[in-house]
């Protein structure tokens, strides 16, 4: 409600707050803007001082990322296409499986009380909390032993592992939002619980499944630590490939900026999909349920 | 007979459902979490290198842990990690709560601005690391350029330990403040309007209301945000890999970074396992606090 | 303590007029109840007095001083809200002293005041509990304690009892009235419950569609409503309104053909001769169902149904397609009876304007 009187101090504070908000917005969005325009700069423009805001757009960064145009067949070609394919396959398959398993587990955790449920919930969320490098010490050995090192299949396993906790908790949150009566009425009318789950409850959480998938995809797509240690050549994902651009000849900034933008584009698309469920996704389905 | 049968069948079908729905997840968890962690603990009692498995595993008891305790370099890792966590988490909480409070108010374009501000936390940490490394370049980086514009000198951001610490904190704060903003805004918006009206009638100034009403009432949600940030920043690896590479020297190596280096550069697998176990214990402790609070919130909402 | 004066008060939300040109004086120490259906502007008026809503135009005066531009915290008012507004993270003790602490009152003074309200409201056992541990009624009691602890000039109450169980509400209502008389604080109370209004108010302000319909003591409004709305809103069961049609030597009740004559039924002559169409307003307690052998005039009306509310027995009948109510006064409950309209209960309203039609309204 509007306050009846605005004193000078109130007014000064208000402008100060607005100023700080604008400053933060610049801090927040500036780097993304800078990344975007830098990706269109030529190598010359990239290093000029003072930095140019207006310049002739140059696609050499993107050409070298995709290995086309002037960068085709050249030694400096980045050739990112293969790792792009790896990223897409690993992220989509991993996401699909994590969401599938998370939906099943989330439903059971939402609807049933069973002994060890709390432990299971903690166990499954620990996948989100564990420091990747800690488990990697052993994964490194295990993957080599099982022939999973540097394979997409191995990375898909990791993507499931890394997202199953998130998927279970978010889906539990969405299932908690569906009243128990939905199944109870179906069961009273002679349907099985399985039927109620498949034909009544699942359609009600379609949006939730999509949002969960969006979150899992973004995290799988951005994943770096596991992929960087468990791949060497053929299964490299895009983030790993980008980090490899800091090679012996110094860092290829044009390529890195362009590759960074390429990496962000799918994230933007999925971010748009999940924007309404952001709170829920980031708090494991505990807050912001609707 | 039908009644007893029916209830039996229902109960067993419920149990069947629990079993059927959980076992695939459980299998993955056992294979990908339990087994590796037990193995880690096991390896931590051996002198063993993944590079020379043929050399075998020599049991050393608590030798690896004793070695770690006595390693001054490792203490430096912990101190640096602690400094980094303290710096960036407090910055994120302060800025996040402030911005969250501003964005709690309704104004034109609020939703659009809010969504746009959430972007950084959706980006890949590696890209974030390289992006800030690019901007922090001491000669042609845009940050030093801006510093000279406002009349300050250039800083060798990534070439000095302290400056690199602040640079890393700035990058992490950039990426994760939106997360605090997200939770803080939700917490603030969850406080009913009547409470504010009551406070105004009671004669509380806006500042008094903020510190005595708004903040304490949002504390449970902000606490979750805090713990999550503590966990994530404590295990931070990707950002340092891309931003500083651990340098200058090894002065900006976090504990995670040290684990990776010990395991995959030096291949002291036994020692790395012991260090990983230490890291795990800390993270699991924090996670247990978090999960307890998450469950409490789950009941409340 | 203060006298409140509203002068040409207008409050608009966009094109919606929530409060339409309201004038009112609340005397120092008076207990005034704003009564009306939801959306009539009573809460908005209260909130503008509190300083939570800005008046679009007009003046709000406390003891002759214009307070429009003062914020809520500067007006020295206290308020109890409809829905519980205790601070959930503070103990009862901290909740009660919050207004004093927020104003930086000295510790000793706070302690003294706390002892006083604890005594008055008998809150001793609850001081160290949190609001969530108390039932809604007790919470509102705490809210009231928080409101009065700093001796406000004006106490504003926005439907404070509506979220409380019926049983506890009675008790709270009584305590509230008692407390107000004890403190002598100028009080404005908003409610849509006429029973609350009638039992608490020194004066009732009846509102509808943003305007004041009638101001007066409960009896005054009950026996002398200025229009159909006032007549129908106050009194339970609600007043019967019956169309009157001109007829030879009297009036007929609606389409029923039942005849009302001056000689037999006490119909005033001016009403019979009125050139404007009238409605008869008569409260159910003035419509009596009597035994067949009743001496004196009665009407030939079919009884639909008989039902009891507490010790009272009511009956329903219809005239045309309108259903009306009356009191069943028969000694024995049978299937037959006759209906008597008590002429002292006759109220006449102008059908078109809704206003009281009478040779003199102040009768």
Task: Give the residue extent of every domain in chain C.
Answer: 4-233, 240-350
Whole-number pLDDT of residue A249: 61
Mean pLDDT over each residue of chain C, to the nearest integer: 88
**pLDDT: is C297 or C207 the higher one?**
C207
Phi, then psi, of C53 in degrees rounded to 5 = -130, 140
- CA-based nearest distance B230→chain C, Å: 25
**Complex ipTM value:** 0.88
Taking residue B64's Cβ as centre, other Cβ atoms within 10 Å add up to 23
In sequence order, the β-bridge partners of residue C306 are C315
Interface test with B, best of C47, C53, C78, C81 (most B CBs within 10 A): C81
Q: Is B127 on the interface with A (CB under 8 A)?
A: yes
Checking if the pLDDT of B61 tops 70, the result is yes
Mutate to test the interface with A, among C13, C54, C76 (most CBs of A within 10 A): C54
**Cβ-defined contact of A5 to C54 (cutoff 8 Å):** no
pLDDT digits (tens, 9 = 90+) for C89-147: 999 999 999 999 998 899 999 999 999 999 888 888 899 999 989 988 889 999 999 99
d(CA C256, CA C324): 13
pLDDT over 70 percentage in chain A: 91
Cβ neighbors of C133 (< 8 A, separation 6 or more) are: none
> Quick one: closest CA in B to C105, which residue?
B203
Question: Are the C-beta atoms of residues A14 and A21 closer than 8 Å to each other?
Answer: no
- Check: CB of residue A138 under 8 Å from CB of residue B40: yes
DSSP count for chain A of H helices, then E strands: 15, 2
Q: What is the pLDDT of residue A3?
A: 44
What is the rounded CA–CA span in Å between residue A153 and residue C306? 81
Neighbouring chains of A at 3+ CB pairs within 8 Å? B, C
Contacts of B37 in chain A (CB under 8 A): 135, 138
The Cα of C71 is separated from the nearest Cα of chain A by a number of Å equal to: 5
Map out the domains of chain B as residue ranges: 2-43, 62-300
C207: β partners = C212
Q: For an interface test with B, which of C86, C88, C95 has the most B Cβ atoms less than 10 Å from its Cβ?
A: C88
User: Which of B 173-232 lie inside 8 A of A, CB atoms?
Assistant: 174, 177-179, 182-183, 186, 193, 197, 200, 206, 221, 224, 231
Chain A: give the shortest CA distance to residue C52, in Å: 6
Measured between beta carbons, the chain B residues lying within 8 angstroms of C83 are: 192, 194
Contacts of A261 (CB under 8 A, 6+ apart): A35, A36, A39
How would you classify the pairing of strands C287-290 and C322-328? parallel
Q: Which residue has the higher pLDDT, A7 or C252?
A: C252
Which of B195, B201, B203 has the CB atom closest to C87's CB atom?
B195
What's the fold here for domain B62-300? MetI-like fold (1.10.3720)
Contact check, Cβ <8 Å, A142/B259 = no
Which chain B residues contact residue A118 at CB under 8 A? 295
The pLDDT of B148-155, averaged and rounded, is 86
Of the candidates C39, C44, C78, the residue with the CA atom closest to the CA atom of residue C58: C44
| Assigned superfamily of A80-287 | MetI-like (1.10.3720.10)
- If you measure CA to CA, which chain A residue comes closest to B235? A131
Within 13 A of B232's CA, how many CA atoms are on the CB side? 22
pLDDT at B6: 46
C4-233 placed in CATH 3.40.50.300: yes
CA gap A284, B183 in Å, rounded: 12
**Tokens 């699991």 sit on residue:** B284
Burial of A99 (0-12, 13-18, 19+ CB in 10 A): buried
- Listing DSSP states for chain A in one string gives ---S---HHHHHHHHHHHHHHHHHHHHHHHHHHHHHHHTTS-HHHHT-SSPPSS-----HHHHHHHT-GGGTT-TT----HHHHHHHHHHHHHHHHHHHHHHHHHHHHHHH---TTHHHHHHHHHHHHHS-HHHHHHHHHHHHHHTT-TT-HHHHHHHHHHHHHHHHHHHHHHHHHTS-THHHHHHHHTT--HHHHIIIIIHHHTHHHHHHHHHHHHHHHHH--HHHHHH-SSTT--HHHHHHTTEETTEE-HHHHHHHHHHHHHHHHHHHHHHGGGHHHHHTTTSSS--
For residue C322, what pLDDT is reported? 84
Structure tokens at B231: 């966990």
Q: Which residues in A lie closer than 8 A to residue B111 (C-beta atoms)?
A: none
Which residue of chain A is at minimal alpha-carbon distance from B273?
A137
Residue A282 confidence (pLDDT) = 87
C306: three-class secondary structure by DSSP: strand
A159 near A231, Cβ under 8 Å?
no
pLDDT range class, residue A2, cuts 50, 70, 90: very low
Residue from the list B10, B116, B257 with its beta carbon closest to the beta carbon of A29: B116
Give the separation between CA B70 and CA B62, rounded to whole angstroms. 12
Assess B135–A contact: CB distance below 8 Å, yes or no. yes
Whether chain A has a CB inside 8 Å of the CB on B236: the answer is: no
Q: Which of C251, C246, C291 is nearest to C267 (CA)?
A: C251
Tokens standing for residue A212: 């969960």
What is the per-residue pLDDT for A221?
Answer: 95
Nearest neighbour of A127 by CB, restricted to B33, B134, B237? B33
Q: Name the region of C184 (left: φ>0; alpha: ψ -120 to 50; beta: rest).
A: left
CA distance, residue B185 to nearest chain C CA (Å): 19
A235 CA: distance to closest CA in chain B (Å):
18
Q: Which secondary structure element, helix H or strand E, spans residue C350, and what is its range? A: strand C347-350
Point out the least confidently predicted range of A57-61, A77-81, B294-298, C45-49. A77-81
- Minimal C-alpha gap between A135 and chain C (Å): 41
In chain A, residues under CATH classification 1.10.3720.10 are 80-287
Structure tokens at B252: 């900006």
Q: Which residues of C touch A4 (CB under 8 A)?
A: 51, 54, 68-72
Any chain B CB within 8 A of the CB of A11?
A: no
Residue of B21, B135, B242 with shortest CB distance to A105? B21
Name subunits touching C (3+ CB pairs < 8 A).
Answer: A, B
SS3 category, A57: coil
Q: What pLDDT was estimated at residue B5?
A: 45
User: How much is the pLDDT for C329?
Assistant: 82
Partner residue facing B204 (CB), from C52, C73, C90: C73
Residue C256 has pLDDT above 80, yes or no: no
Nearest alpha-carbon partner for A224 in B267, B128, B247, B168: B128
Q: Measured between alpha carbons, how far is A25 from B149 in angstroms, rounded to an integer?
A: 20
Q: Which chains touch B (3 or more CB pairs under 8 A)?
A: A, C
B-facing residues of A in 91-120 (CB < 8 A) are 101-102, 104-105, 107-108, 112, 114, 118, 120
Residue C345: CB partners within 8 Å, gap ≥ 6?
C282, C283, C285, C286, C287
Q: Is the pLDDT of residue C362 over 60?
A: no
CA B126 distance to own-chain centroid = 15
B210 CA to chain C: closest CA distance, Å?
12
B56 and chain A in contact, CB less than 8 A: no
- State the pLDDT confidence band at B1, using cuts at 50, 70 and 90: very low
pLDDT digits (tens, 9 = 90+) for C140-198: 999 999 999 988 999 999 999 888 888 888 888 888 999 899 889 999 999 999 888 99
**Residue holding tokens 């005849």?**
C259
**Chain-chain contact of C70 with A5 (C-beta, under 8 angstroms):** yes
Cα–Cα distances (Å) from B283 to B94, B180, B221, B271, B289, in that order, read: 23, 20, 20, 19, 10
For residue B74, the model assigns a pLDDT of 86
Q: Does A38 touch chain B (CB under 8 A)?
A: yes
| DSSP assignment letter at C56 | S
Residue A289: what pLDDT? 67
Give CA–CA dist C161/C196, Å, rounded: 9
User: What's the Cα-to-Cα distance from A28 to each of A37, A278, B143, rounded to whole Å?
Assistant: 16, 18, 14
């Amino acid at each position: 409600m509007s306050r009846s009187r605005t004193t000078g101090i109130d007014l000064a504070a208000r402008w100060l707050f607005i100023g700080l908000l604008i400053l933060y917005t610049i801090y927040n969005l500036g780097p993304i803007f800078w990344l975007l325009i830098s990706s269109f700069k030529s190598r010359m423009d990239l290093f000029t001082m003072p930095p140019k805001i207006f310049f002739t757009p140059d696609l050499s960064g993107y050409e070298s990322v995709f290995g086309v145009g002037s960068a085709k067949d050249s030694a400096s070609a980045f050739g990112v296409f293969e790792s792009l394919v790896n990223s897409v396959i690993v992220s989509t398959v991993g996401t699909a499986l994590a969401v599938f398993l998370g939906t099943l587990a989330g439903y059971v955790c939402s609807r049933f009380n069973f002994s060890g449920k709390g432990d299971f919930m903690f166990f499954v969320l620990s996948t989100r909390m564990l420091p990747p490098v800690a488990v990697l010490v052993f994964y490194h050995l295990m993957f080599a032993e099982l022939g999973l090192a540097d394979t997409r299949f191995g990375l898909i396993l990791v993507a499931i592992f890394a997202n199953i906790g998130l998927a279970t908790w978010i889906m539990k949150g969405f299932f908690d939002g569906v009243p128990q009566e939905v199944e109870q009425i179906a069961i009273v009318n002679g349907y099985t619980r399985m039927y109620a789950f498949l034909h009544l409850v699942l359609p009600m959480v379609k949006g939730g499944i999509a949002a969960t998938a969006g979150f899992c995809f973004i995290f799988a797509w951005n994943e770096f630590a596991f992929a960087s240690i468990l791949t060497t050549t053929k299964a490299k994902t895009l983030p790993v490939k980008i980090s490899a651009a800091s090679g012996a000849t110094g860092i290829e900034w044009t390529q890195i900026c362009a590759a960074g933008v390429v990496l962000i584009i799918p994230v933007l698309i999925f971010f748009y999909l999940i924007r309404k469920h952001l709170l829920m996704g980031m708090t494991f389905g505990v807050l912001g349920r609707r | 007979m039908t009644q007893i049968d029916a209830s039996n069948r229902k109960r067993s079908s419920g149990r069947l459902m629990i079993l059927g729905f959980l076992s695939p997840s459980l299998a993955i968890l056992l294979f990908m979490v339990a087994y590796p962690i037990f193995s880690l603990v096991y390896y931590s009692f051996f002198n063993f290198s993944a590079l020379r498995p043929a050399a075998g595993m020599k049991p050393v008891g608590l030798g690896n842990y004793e070695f770690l305790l006595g390693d001054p370099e490792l203490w430096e890792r912990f101190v640096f990690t602690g400094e980094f966590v303290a710096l960036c988490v407090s910055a994120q909480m302060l800025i996040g709560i402030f911005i969250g409070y501003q964005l709690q108010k309704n104004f034109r374009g609020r939703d659009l601005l809010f969504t746009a501000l959430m972007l950084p936390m959706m980006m890949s940490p590696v890209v974030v690391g390289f992006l800030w490394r690019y901007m922090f370049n001491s000669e042609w980086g845009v940050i030093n350029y801006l510093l000279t514009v406002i009349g300050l000198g250039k800083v060798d951001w990534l070439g000095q330990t302290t400056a690199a610490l602040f640079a890393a904190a700035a990058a992490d704060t950039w990426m994760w403040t939106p997360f605090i903003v997200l939770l803080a805004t939700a917490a603030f918006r969850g406080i009913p309007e009547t409470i504010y009206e009551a406070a105004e009638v009671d004669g509380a100034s806006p500042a008094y209301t903020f510190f005595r009403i708004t903040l304490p009432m949002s504390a449970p949600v902000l606490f979750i945000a805090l713990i999550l940030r503590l966990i994530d920043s404590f295990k931070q690896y990707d950002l340092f890999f891309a931003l500083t590479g651990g340098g200058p020297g090894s002065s900006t190596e976090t504990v995670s970074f040290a684990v990776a280096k010990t395991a995959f550069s030096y291949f002291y697998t036994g020692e790395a396992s012991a260090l990983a176990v230490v890291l795990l214990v800390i993270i699991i402790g924090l996670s247990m606090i978090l999960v307890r609070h998450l469950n409490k919130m789950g009941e409340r909402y | 303590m203060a006298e409140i004066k509203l002068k040409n008060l207008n409050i608009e939300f966009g094109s919606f007029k929530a409060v339409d040109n309201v004038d009112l004086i609340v005397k120092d120490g008076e207990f005034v109840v704003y009564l009306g259906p939801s959306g009539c502007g009573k809460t908005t008026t209260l909130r503008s007095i509190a300083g939570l809503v800005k008046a679009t135009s007009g003046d709000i005066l406390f003891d002759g001083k214009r307070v429009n531009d003062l914020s809520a915290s500067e007006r020295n008012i206290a308020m109890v809200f409809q829905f519980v507004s205790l601070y959930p993270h503070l103990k009862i003790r901290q909740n009660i002293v919050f207004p004093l602490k927020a104003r930086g009152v000295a510790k000793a003074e706070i302690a003294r005041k706390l002892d006083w309200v604890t005594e008055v409201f008998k809150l001793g056992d609850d001081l160290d509990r949190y609001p969530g541990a108390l039932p809604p009624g007790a919470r509102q009691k705490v809210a009231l304690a928080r409101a009065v602890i700093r001796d406000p000039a004006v106490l504003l109450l926005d439907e404070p009892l509506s979220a409380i169980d019926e049983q506890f509400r009675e008790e709270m209502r009584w305590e509230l009235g008692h407390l107000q008389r004890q403190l002598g604080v100028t009080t404005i109370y908003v409610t849509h419950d006429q029973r609350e209004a009638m039992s608490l108010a020194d004066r009732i302000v009846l509102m509808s569609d943003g305007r004041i319909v009638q101001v007066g003591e409960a009896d005054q409004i009950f026996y002398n409503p200025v229009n159909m709305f006032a007549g129908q809103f106050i009194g339970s069961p609600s007043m019967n309104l019956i169309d009157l049609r001109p007829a030879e030597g009297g009036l007929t009740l609606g389409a029923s053909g039942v005849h009302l004559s001056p000689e037999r039924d006490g119909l005033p002559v001016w009403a019979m001769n009125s050139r404007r169409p009238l409605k008869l307003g008569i409260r159910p307690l003035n419509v009596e169902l009597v035994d067949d052998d009743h001496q004196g005039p009665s009407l030939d009306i079919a009884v639909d149904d008989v039902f009891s509310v507490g010790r009272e027995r009511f009956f329903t009948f219809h005239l045309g397609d309108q259903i009306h109510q009356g009191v069943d006064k028969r000694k024995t409950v049978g299937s037959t009876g006759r209906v008597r309209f008590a002429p002292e209960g006759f109220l006449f309203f102008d059908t078109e304007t809704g206003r009281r039609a009478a040779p003199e309204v102040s009768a």
